[in-house]
Amino acid sequence: MADLGMEAVVMCDLWNRAKGEEMTVDGVVYQRGLHDTGKLQTYLHGYERLLKDLSERYGVRYKVRLEEEFLSMDGIPQVLQKVIRDRESLAKHLAPSTGSLAIRAGCPHCELVDKYGVNNRYSADGLEVSFHCRVHGRFSYSTQKDPQRFLFNCQLFNLILGYFYENAPYNWIEICGSDYAGFWQEQLLWRFLSKPAIIVYTHLVSDWLGNKVFKSLYQQKTAYDYLVKADQEYLLSYEVLGREGKDISLLWREIELWVDQPYRLFRDYTLHYLHLLFQQEKVLLGTIHTQASEPETE
């Protein structure tokens, strides 16, 4: 990009108010976010160190952005108002089971959130939403004055991103986990956008049961106690990886293979595979990927 007189910047959006804990009271589901439960802070330092190392290795600038910063940007109030005005039609696609679009906000006193927004009340002009806290009662936020206070589930937040960036004066590429690939992105999301985003999917890292490691980590502290007992905690923590003197460049070299061996772009990784890399053991991918010296005739 530099050769063309252009610059690429990686914006790392961290949804710090995603679900940290959940409870159901009188049939209504409530939750508190990762930041409010302290779970985000547990891994944030290592994440920032990792980004710094990557930036220095590849010479690409980056910025870490939390939800509140994104939702404070110019143009977001108009996007929120559009979503609120269209909430009934959008809910038929994004929330068919509840019929209620997951527009939500944390209580200003205890940060408790009505997960599905079932008790919301909306002003006719879409400028204000009244939310309900089971402990402290009703509270309201304005889309004009308090856009950073609003919360959304993954599907709705993704649509808000799409609405916002289709009017951006610059080019952008969305990079997200491959668990989002398929119907949701390419079919459900794009039907609402006049300028669909370019989306690149990253590999997932799974455990031996096929579960997503990153999700299990923040939902259950003891999920990978067996790895700690097997002296493989470095696979779960950048801090532990550095403390044990593991060579992180082994991982970067694996990633760089994606350029020359693009079939690697269409596979996920397991913790066991990464462990073998750090053990510097030879990993065989199978003969299906071996290139024939002569073209096939059958």
Q: What is the pLDDT of residues 199-249, one digit of tens each?
A: 888 888 998 888 888 778 766 778 899 999 999 999 998 889 999 999 999
E strand or H helix that includes residue 139: strand 137-142
Residue 298 has a pLDDT of 52
Note the pLDDT tens digit of each residue in 149-166.
999 988 899 899 999 998
Token output for 261: 């061996």
Helix (H, G, I), strand (E, B) or coil at 28: strand
DSSP assignment letter at 104: E
Q: Chain centroid to CA 58: how far?
A: 23
Neighbour count for residue 90 (Cβ, 10 Å): 19
Residue 12 has a pLDDT of 92
State the Cα–Cα distance between residues 179 and 91, nearest whole angstrom.
Answer: 22
pLDDT tens for the chain, residues 1 to 298: 667 777 888 999 988 888 878 889 888 999 988 777 777 777 788 889 889 999 999 999 999 999 999 999 999 999 999 999 999 999 998 888 888 899 999 999 999 999 999 999 999 888 999 999 999 999 999 999 999 999 998 889 989 999 999 888 888 888 888 887 777 777 778 888 888 778 888 888 998 888 888 778 766 778 899 999 999 999 998 889 999 999 999 999 999 998 888 888 888 899 999 999 999 876 665 544 455 555 445 5
Residue 284 has a pLDDT of 62
Q: What is the dihedral of CA 152, 156, 157, 161, to 10 degrees?
A: -150
| Cβ(227)–Cβ(233) below 8 Å | yes
Residue 213 has a pLDDT of 87
E strand or H helix that includes residue 29: strand 28-33
> Tokens 């059958």 — which residue?
298
Helix (H, G, I), strand (E, B) or coil at 15: coil
| Cβ(273)–Cβ(283) below 8 Å | yes
State the Cα–Cα distance between residues 272 and 230, nearest whole angstrom.
Answer: 12
DSSP assignment letter at 134: T
267-298 b/e (C-beta count within 10 Å ≥ 16 → b): eebebeebeebbeeeeeeeeeeeeeeeeeeee
The number of helices, as runs of H, and strands, as runs of E, in the chain is 11, 14
